[in-house]
Amino acid sequence: MICESFLCSRRWRAVRIAVVFVGLAVACFVLSNSISRSHMLSQVFNINSGFGEGIDQIQLEIGLEKASMKDNKTVILTTLNEAWAKPHSIFDLFLESFRIGNNTQRLLNHLLVICLDDKAYHHCLTLHPHCYNLRTKLDFSSEAYFKALDYLEMMWRRLEVLAVVLDKGFNFVFTDTDVMWLRDPFPHFFPDADFQIACDVFSGNSYDVKNKPNGGFTYVKSDNRTIPFYKFWYYSRKWYPSDYHDQDVFNKIKYNKFIKKIGLQLRFLDTAYFGGFCEPSRDFNLVCTMHANCCVGQQNKAHDLQILLEDWRRFMSLDSTMLSNSSWSVPQDCR
């Protein structure tokens, strides 16, 4: 009995020691996590934290000044690499949409193309007056496939540049190059929102955070809410799997209390005006933009966007008695 009591006492002592070590480990983890998150938030609000390193901000600001609307410092931004800049490519279709759209050609004066490699930059200069060469150590010239490493780095680099644009006091509409501009979108933006984003699928409620957003088209005002939000968004990538791109992370942080804390006014854009292949804008009299979303592959996108522009030309040539009968012939290869 004495021996059994001794063994029992040793077992209980071992259990107590184990519990203490587990408790210490959990406490250390929580403390470390708290410190890391606090450090991240301190970086968000510290404009001298090294954010935007490697970006030629002087040349960027010159480009922004030249392209921006003088009355409100708003600029339209897109990104371009060599793969998308080849002749008869998506970039050509993108520019063409502005030329044939309803009251959109004048908006080309306010478009700044952020080029991701030298070939894209030189090609851009032959077609458009406002081009900025974002010199990067990584090679972004090839077609970047969805979720591939170069695609992910390209998306995060893009987000970093957009945060720098806001930090310099410029409002922007960011548009993917596979978004066709068919009508002036500015009358359909919400005047009270800081951050507005298009949707793959729209619920019908512009305040509903359960909408499925698409970062390929956003309208963002530069203020003391969007600047910290974009930095928070960028640094939040550290807390999610490495194969998450900016849109994946946004879908997580859109529920975060930080957004409410800074007072960010977030709205989601109706696909009736800002449609795409995921959920097309059915009414040709309302549509402003159409995005080749829910589609993989540059050739598939280019094929269907060419047909989309033909549909739009046909609509623009119709007389008023036939306008209500218009419909899209796409998606086809993107189906």
Average pLDDT, the chain: 85
Same structural domain for residues 114 and 33?
Answer: no
User: So what's the pLDDT on residue 34?
Assistant: 42
Q: CB neighbours of 311 closer than 8 A, spacing ≥ 6?
A: 326, 327, 328, 329, 330
User: So what's the pLDDT on residue 185?
Assistant: 98
> Domain tally for the chain?
2
Write the pLDDT tens digit of every residue in 52-96.
877 899 999 999 999 999 999 999 999 999 888 888 889 999 999
Same structural domain for residues 258 and 133?
Answer: yes
Between 41-50, 98-107, 173-182, the lowest mean confidence (pLDDT) is in: 41-50
Evaluate if residue 214 carries a pLDDT over 50. yes
Split at pLDDT 50, 70, 90, the class of 220 is very high
Same structural domain for residues 29 and 160?
Answer: no
Same structural domain for residues 136 and 24?
Answer: no
- Asked whether the beta carbons of 173 and 218 are under 8 A apart, the reply is yes
Same structural domain for residues 19 and 71?
Answer: no
Summarize the confidence of residues 168-195 as an average pLDDT: 98
User: So what's the pLDDT on residue 243?
Assistant: 83
Task: Give the closest residue to 170 by CA, choosing from 126, 207, 223.
Answer: 223
Evaluate if residue 139 carries a pLDDT over 70. no
Q: CB neighbours of 241 closer than 8 A, spacing ≥ 6?
A: none
Summarize the confidence of residues 152-170 as an average pLDDT: 92
Same structural domain for residues 138 and 22?
Answer: no
Evaluate if residue 273 carries a pLDDT over 80. yes
Same structural domain for residues 16 and 153?
Answer: no
User: So what's the pLDDT on residue 127?
Assistant: 96
Between 5-9, 31-35, 54-58, the lowest mean confidence (pLDDT) is in: 31-35
Evaluate if residue 32 carries a pLDDT over 60. no
Residue 291 lies inside a defined structural domain of this protein? no
Residue 234 lies inside a defined structural domain of this protein? yes
Same structural domain for residues 103 and 24?
Answer: no
Same structural domain for residues 41 and 61?
Answer: no
CATH number at residue 135: 3.90.550
User: For residues 87 and 305, which has the higher predicted lDDT (pLDDT)?
Assistant: 305
User: For residues 81 and 136, which has the higher predicted lDDT (pLDDT)?
Assistant: 81
- Residue 230's Cβ-side half-sphere holds a number of Cα atoms within 13 Å equal to 31
- Asked whether the beta carbons of 265 and 194 are under 8 A apart, the reply is yes
Evaluate if residue 135 carries a pLDDT over 50. yes
Range of the domain at 7: 1-45
Quote the tokens at residue 42. 């301190």
Summarize the confidence of residues 286-293 as an average pLDDT: 98
User: So what's the pLDDT on residue 149?
Assistant: 61
Evaluate if residue 216 carries a pLDDT over 60. yes
Same structural domain for residues 108 and 3?
Answer: no
Phi-psi category of residue 50: left, alpha or beta, with phi > 0 → left and psi -120 to 50 → alpha: left
Same structural domain for residues 77 and 99?
Answer: yes
Evaluate if residue 170 carries a pLDDT over 90. yes
User: So what's the pLDDT on residue 9?
Assistant: 55
Same structural domain for residues 73 and 176?
Answer: yes
Summarize the confidence of residues 32-55 as an average pLDDT: 56
Residue 325 lies inside a defined structural domain of this protein? no
Write the pLDDT tens digit of every residue in 225-270.
999 999 999 999 999 988 888 999 999 999 999 999 999 999 999 9
